[in-house]
Chain A
């Protein structure tokens, strides 16, 4: 058995590591659930719908849920109409360009026309956010006559905005008149077709309201990160500093006192320094100097590294005395979450997140796997240091040679030297055979 304080420290560290793993796993599983669901067939929305109406051309459908279009809706409808008209023009251009487009279009239409029919009916019948019993496609689907592979802007845009319920009826009126040139207007109810991302993902389009909000969002973020300096900014900064100064002086504490956050940050920096110095030392030691000049440079570097290590140590000892001097009050229980990570506090994150471009799933998987591996190694190294600090003294102190000590040695060896994966064997030579 290990002594109590050693036990509790080690168990706490290991539990910490286990918890952070579990947290990552939870996040991943959440994402996995969502992604899996997206790749399956999409379910229709929940709310049941009254019976579907027949052809869209025939009626001016009032949505069953009262939602009178607002002026904003009408405006958006205007935009929608314009886009539709443009799309028709473009499409006319395409169909003129390639004579064989029509047949391919027809054959494509087996894939798209159910969607077409469905969404025309969809628009006509219900805008309550639910689907007709046989219609399937989600809000964002749009009709396209162009083969799915031809990804371009020649798409007939019929944007169904989930945000506005009342619009669809009006759109329904406009849509069919365009559509009737190309599609076979179908009045017969169709069998339920299923929307899968794989087949029809290309048809999706984000709703207008969302797009507007998203672009406004990124614009505002850009503004926020750029207006750091201005006239009023300077005056405000002076006022802020003045206020902080006054807070400090009225509190009666010396301003040179370090806060725990600062101490922690500095210890972190010095730890990073240690690893960088060690890394550099390793590089210098593995390098093979060929002549006396290179050797001289190598030795100078090692000397410099030693001096830097000394400086860091000195700073740490200063911090240590400061810490000791200030320990006068019991600390409230519970561990505090760390102050904002150096990453999140940077000004860079205030802008929209930059892009990370990958070109294949393989690449993405490699990237993610490496990230996890690096995180795991960091954790292992930390645990290794902690375990070394706690367990090696135990082995040193316990001199009795009995089996418990050997068992301890074996376990410690496995933990410290093999990452807990393998065990060594210890044979005693003078074991009396009975």
Chain B
């Protein structure tokens, strides 16, 4: 039989392991720099820098789903990479000091890439972002609607004063856009319904049953279908590489340690620290104000009621204290559960992410997936909540304005007719 497993890796294997690992890594990365680039980067060769800048840009900026983003110049990419890394809390300052023209810094960029890979499931996330979507997908949560809009748009606001009528005009434009959006969405759903029902039974996967728009399109347009097939095959290659990477990555990390060791030590006195963007600070202030308002409201409401309660309910016997303790415990658990909802991302209990739309007959056996009726219910209750919140805010404004104006004599304030 002979020894199948060796304790120590054969030196020849070890020598091959690193280049192979790097080769696998480059196969799974989106813009795949060559393995040679990595080696050059370790020795801080300048020619490695541009490819790594581009790679980092690809990794850090989420690919816009609709069409290709206009490709930026290397300088702009470099600046964007620096900003993104700082945003994520990248520790090394040397990267921030690299020139934007991409002429230097291979080693620092390599370290940055490794840092990103080490911190989280970066590769998997990259793959998931650029994934070929074969079905008609619809997100069932609001997470994407709460995220800020896509690529960084430099604020080109005319920094002059505007009249409030301009704001009113913008609001009107916004309302119109929403209406148009609603109408287009309804049409799209009707068309989807038709396509799904016309192609029922055509899919090789029985659980899906019918074709999606992408799949039907591939049949209508063979050339486009070819391209889709190629994209799918490319993705398969990347997926296989990602799986293989998991088996081989150890030697890469050991190598990165040596790369880090080869760097000159940074000055221990930090002179620059990243600044939280002003936009973030404004949002923080908003939340502070909201919480303070909430606290005051709670206090105001509770005080009077406590007093009333104390008056009605004097001292009670022993069974009173037992039930009191029980109630306290129940409330405590309630509140802990509530706290969980925002702290640990307790929303994971709810379905998230895009789901593939599948048309079935009503009353089909459950268990295959999420039912639209359930999602509709959740959304309805969510809608009701939000309407209440909006109504409260508007009511607050109404009161405030009425108060401000009401102090002035000689004015009659005629509100518009109610809904």
Contact = CB atoms under 8 A, between A and B. Distances in A.
Interface in A245-280: 246-248, 250-253, 257-264, 267, 269-280
Where chain A touches its partner, the secondary structure class is helix
A374 B419 CA distance: 20
Interface string B183-208: 01111111111110011111111011
B383 A429 contact: no
B276 A260 contact: yes
A302 B394 contact: no
A39 B291 contact: no
B143 interface: yes
Interface string B396-419: 111011001100101111111100
A142 to B, nearest CB: 10
A343 B358 contact: no
Contacts of B386: 374, 377-378, 381
A389 B257 contact: no
Interface string A357-382: 11111011111111111111111110
Contacts of B128: 344, 349-350
B229 interface: yes
Contacts of B280: 260, 263-264, 267, 323
Contacts of A326: 273-276
B9 to A, nearest CB: 13
Contacts of B125: 340, 344-345
A12 B263 CA distance: 43
B372 A32 contact: no
Contacts of B14: none
A246 B257 CA distance: 8
A433 interface: no
Contacts of A2: 161-164, 167
Interface residues of B, number: 235
Contact of A429 (B135, B274, B330, B412): B412
Contacts of A338: 147-148
Residue of A261, A310, A341 ringed by the most chain B CB atoms within 10 A = A341
A293 B313 CA distance: 10
B358 A331 contact: no
A350 B242 CA distance: 12
Contacts of B385: 279
Nearest to A414: B168
B145 A274 contact: no
Interface string A379-405: 111011110110110011000010000
A384 B198 contact: no
Interface in B274-309: 274-284, 286-292, 294-295, 297-299, 301-302, 305-306, 309
A197 B125 CA distance: 36
Given A337-B148, A357-B371, A367-B375, A374 B161 contact: no
Given A162-B226, A422-B416, A24 B181 contact: yes
A348 B88 CA distance: 23
B204 A138 contact: no
Interface stretch (A51-59, A109-117, A186-194, A218-226): A218-226
Residue of B198, B211, B228, B328 ringed by the most chain A CB atoms within 10 A = B198
Contacts of A360: 193, 362
A224 B243 contact: yes
A1 B162 contact: yes
Nearest to A17: B174
Nearest to B331: A300
A66 interface: no
B360 A358 contact: yes
Interface stretch (A88-96, A167-175, A205-213): A205-213
A377 B387 contact: yes
B266 A328 contact: no
Interface in B100-133: 111, 114-115, 117-121, 124-125, 127-129, 132-133
B222 A139 contact: yes
Interface stretch (B30-38, B46-54, B247-255): B247-255
A18 B174 CA distance: 6
27 contacts: A28-B181, A163-B229, A223-B243, A232-B249, A243-B115, A247-B111, A251-B92, A252-B267, A269-B343, A271-B286, A282-B392, A298-B305, A353-B355, A353-B356, A355-B207, A356-B375, A357-B368, A359-B364, A363-B376, A364-B192, A369-B185, A401-B408, A409-B404, A413-B397, A426-B413, A427-B414, A430-B410
